[in-house]
Structures are given as structure tokens and as C-alpha cells.
């Protein structure tokens, strides 16, 4: 095994472990802040997996959008919302615990059904042009409708956020 293959394989497992550790931290953490940061670690691991698959563009977008923007907004929300002492008190106890376990198992089994019924065919090795210009062109020509609809959803979300924010200020 050449050094490159070894490094690539080692990185793959490192990213997988990073993703799982982040995910476990996000679920298990007692502090809300730790949970959000666990999510950030998990998303970084996913970015690493994109890197392993050879798509640097997706890696960068994952970091820029999910870690750099969304996680930061969540952390900001946590910081503004609670003091550290409040966050330390977990609500994962008593009746809540059973409800949480029941909800997550239901979700798990619901996801398991299509997963078991699906037949997986191994992906073909690079069946066409997947370069950045190709990606851009298909997004803006062939899938233009979907692209625009997503933008409308985001616009609606922004307008909603503004209405919520200004409503709170006046009252």
C-alpha cells in the first residue's frame, strides 16, 4: 500500500469518527452549547467526507454555509437566550426521557423501513461531467424551477423572521 492510499484511508476513518463523535456529542451533551458545537464538529466531519470523495467545492460550501453560518447563528441564539447556569440544567429526565426515547425509536424505525426495502446498486464510476460549470449550468437551466422555488421559500422565511422581530419590538 503506498503512502498516499494509506493517508487517504486513514483520513476517511478519521472523518467518519469525527462525524460520529460530533453526532453523539450533539445528542448526549448536557449543555446546549456543547450540543451545538457537537453539531458543528459533525458537519465538519461530513465536509471531510466530501473532501475524501474529491469534491473540494462541496467541502468548502459545507464549511461556509453549515459550519460558518448556520452553526454560528445557533450558537448566537443559545448565547442570547440563556445564561450558562440555565443551560447546564438538562431537561432530559423523568417523563421527558421516555418521550424522547419513544420519539427517537419511532423515527429510527420509520427510516429503517424504506432503507430495508430499497435495493442498492453500486454507483457507476464517474458517469459523466460533474465539474463546477456543469453543476452551475444544470442548476440554472434544467433545474431552474426547483432553484427558484427554494429561493422563494428562503424569502418567505426571511420575511417571517422580520415580522416576528419587529412585532416583538413594538409590544
Partner 1 sequence: MDTAFLPPELLRMLIAALFVVTVVFVNALFMVYAERKIAGHIQRRPGPYEVGWHGILQTLVDGIKLMTKELVIPRDANRMLFRVAPLLAFTPVVMPFLVLPFSENLTIIDMNIGLIFILAMASLNVMAILVAGWSSNNKYGLFGAMRSVAQNIAYEIPILLSLLSVVLITNSFSMRTIVEAQISGLWFCLLQPLAFIIYLIAALAETNRAPFDMPEAESELTAGFHTEYSGMGFGLFFLGEYTNMFIVSSVAVAVFLGGWSGLPLPMDAWTGAFWFLLKVYILMFIMIWVRWTYPRVRFDQLMNLSWKYLIPFALLNLIVTAVIVKL
Which residues sit at the interface with partner 1, rule CB under 8 A? 2-4, 7, 31, 33-34, 37, 40, 56-57, 60-61, 63-64, 67-69, 71-72, 75-76, 79-80, 84, 132
Taking the least distance from each CB to partner 1, the nearer of 107 and 148 is 148
DSSP structure class, residue 122: P
Give the shortest CB-121-to-partner 1 separation in angstroms: 31
Give the shortest CB-79-to-partner 1 separation in angstroms: 5
Taking the least distance from each CB to partner 1, the nearer of 14 and 56 is 56
Residue 134, C-alpha cell as written in the block: 456543469
Maximum pairwise Cα distance, the chain? 68
Q: Please return the burial class of 135, using the count of CB atoms within 10 Å of its CB with bins 0-12, 13-18 and 19+.
A: middle
Taking the least distance from each CB to partner 1, the nearer of 3 and 119 is 3
Residue 46, C-alpha cell as written in the block: 461530513
User: What does the alpha-carbon distance between residue 144 and residue 151 come to, in Å, rounded to a whole number?
Assistant: 11
* Other Cβ atoms within 10 Å of 61 Cβ, number: 14
Taking the least distance from each CB to partner 1, the nearer of 79 and 100 is 79
Give the shortest CB-78-to-partner 1 separation in angstroms: 8
Amino acid at each position: 500500500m503506498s503512502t498516499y492510499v494509506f493517508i487517504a484511508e486513514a483520513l476517511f476513518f478519521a472523518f467518519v469518527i469525527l462525524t460520529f463523535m460530533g453526532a453523539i456529542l450533539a445528542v448526549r451533551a448536557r449543555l446546549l452549547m456543547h450540543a451545538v458545537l457537537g453539531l458543528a464538529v459533525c458537519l465538519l466531519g461530513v465536509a471531510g467526507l466530501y473532501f475524501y470523495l474529491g469534491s473540494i467545492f462541496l467541502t468548502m460550501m459545507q464549511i461556509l454555509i453549515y459550519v460558518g453560518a448556520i452553526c454560528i447563528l445557533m450558537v448566537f441564539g443559545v448565547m442570547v437566550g440563556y445564561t450558562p447556569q440555565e443551560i447546564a440544567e438538562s431537561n432530559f429526565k423523568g417523563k421527558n426521557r421516555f418521550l424522547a426515547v419513544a420519539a427517537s425509536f419511532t423515527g429510527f424505525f420509520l427510516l429503517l423501513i424504506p432503507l430495508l426495502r430499497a435495493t442498492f446498486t453500486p454507483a457507476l464510476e464517474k458517469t459523466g461531467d460533474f465539474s463546477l460549470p456543469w453543476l452551475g449550468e444544470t442548476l440554472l437551466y434544467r433545474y431552474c424551477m426547483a432553484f427558484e422555488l427554494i429561493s422563494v421559500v428562503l424569502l418567505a422565511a426571511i420575511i417571517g423572521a422580520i415580522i416576528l422581530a419587529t412585532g416583538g419590538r413594538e409590544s
